[in-house]
């Protein structure tokens, strides 16, 4: 059974790892076996929005494109929050149209995220990547139908042990994002925090992966 890395910016091409590589529209390459594509709130450029959305939509029917994102909301940057919401909502609607999950970047805007999800009646899976908040936030996200992915902050913030330990087994993923740590190291720590073996963690994430991505990436392709 392979490892699954929900979100990475560095393709390592390891035989036993399925990597969902983050891509930006203007830098797209078809070099990756599976990827997500989206407009990150940090990199919104008004005069490129239409062309970038067109690129995203053009990729959503490709089998290698497993998700929209990363996209989302960030209250700690200078880009207009209203503009961020507009770009985010348009990407959510594309994801809903093409029935693709969404990998989310969210900073200090979880209530707005939940509100937008409800307003637009989004039914595709919402995957919060790089989670670093407390149990209360995690529980509210899960209660509103979101999935949560742990990675570099899990490695750096011991207080996330209790958050992961209490996370329902059918609602979490693991990732490396931009970190130098390997996905194997993330799985090892997650197993320790969950009180499980690494094979048990791999099985849980594999099941979750199949639930979210199975229609586009059959489970037989990630097992041995």
Domain that holds residue 155: 3-222
User: What mean pLDDT is predicted for residues 211-224?
Assistant: 61
171 touches 148 (CB < 8 A): yes
* Tokens (6 digits) for 169: 């087994």
Q: How many residues does the chain have?
A: 224
Q: Does the pLDDT value for residue 223 go beyond 50?
A: no
Per-residue model confidence as pLDDT tens digits over 161-171? 999 999 999 99
Report the pLDDT value the prediction gives residue 44, as an integer from 0 to 100. 98
Report the pLDDT value the prediction gives residue 156, as an integer from 0 to 100. 95
Per-residue model confidence as pLDDT tens digits over 105-148? 999 999 999 999 999 999 999 999 999 999 999 999 999 999 99
Report the pLDDT value the prediction gives residue 110, as an integer from 0 to 100. 98
Report the pLDDT value the prediction gives residue 164, as an integer from 0 to 100. 98
221 confidence band (pLDDT: 50, 70, 90): very low
User: What mean pLDDT is predicted for residues 17-27?
Assistant: 96
Question: What CATH number is associated with residue 7?
Answer: 3.20.20.140
88 touches 73 (CB < 8 A): yes
8 touches 20 (CB < 8 A): yes
Interacting residues of 119 by C-beta distance below 8 A, sequence separation 6+: none
| Strand locations in 9-128 (E) | 17-23, 35-37, 65-74, 102-107, 126-128
Report the pLDDT value the prediction gives residue 219, as an integer from 0 to 100. 46
Find the radius of gyration of the CA atoms of the chain. Answer: 16
Per-residue model confidence as pLDDT tens digits over 87-107? 999 999 999 999 999 999 999
201 confidence band (pLDDT: 50, 70, 90): very high
Q: Does the pLDDT value for residue 172 go beyond 70?
A: yes
Structurally, how many domains does the chain consist of?
1
Q: Does the pLDDT value for residue 28 go beyond 60?
A: yes
Report the pLDDT value the prediction gives residue 117, as an integer from 0 to 100. 98
Report the pLDDT value the prediction gives residue 147, as an integer from 0 to 100. 98
């Amino acid at each position: 059974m392979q490892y699954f890395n929900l979100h990475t910016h560095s393709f390592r091409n390891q035989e036993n790892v399925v990597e969902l590589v983050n891509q930006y529209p203007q830098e797209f390459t078809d070099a990756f076996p599976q990827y997500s594509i989206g407009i990150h709130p940090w990199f919104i450029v008004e005069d490129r929005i239409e062309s970038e959305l067109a690129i995203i939509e053009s990729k959503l029917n490709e089998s290698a494109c497993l998700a929209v994102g990363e996209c989302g909301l960030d209250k700690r940057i200078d880009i207009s929050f209203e503009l961020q919401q507009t770009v985010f909502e348009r990407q959510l609607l594309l994801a809903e149209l093409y029935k693709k999950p969404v990998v989310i970047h969210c900073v200090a805007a979880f209530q707005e995220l939940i509100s937008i999800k409800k307003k637009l009646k989004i039914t595709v899976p919402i995957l919060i990547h790089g989670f670093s908040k407390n149990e209360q936030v995690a529980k509210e996200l899960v209660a509103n139908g979101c999935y949560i992915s742990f990675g570099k902050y899990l490695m750096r913030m011991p207080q996330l042990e209790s958050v992961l330990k209490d996370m329902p087994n059918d609602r979490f993923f693991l990732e490396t994002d931009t970190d130098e740590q390997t996905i194997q190291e993330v799985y090892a720590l997650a197993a320790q925090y969950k009180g499980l073996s690494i094979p048990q963690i791999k099985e849980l994430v594999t099941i979750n992966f199949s639930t979210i991505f199975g229609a586009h990436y059959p489970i037989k392709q990630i097992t041995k």
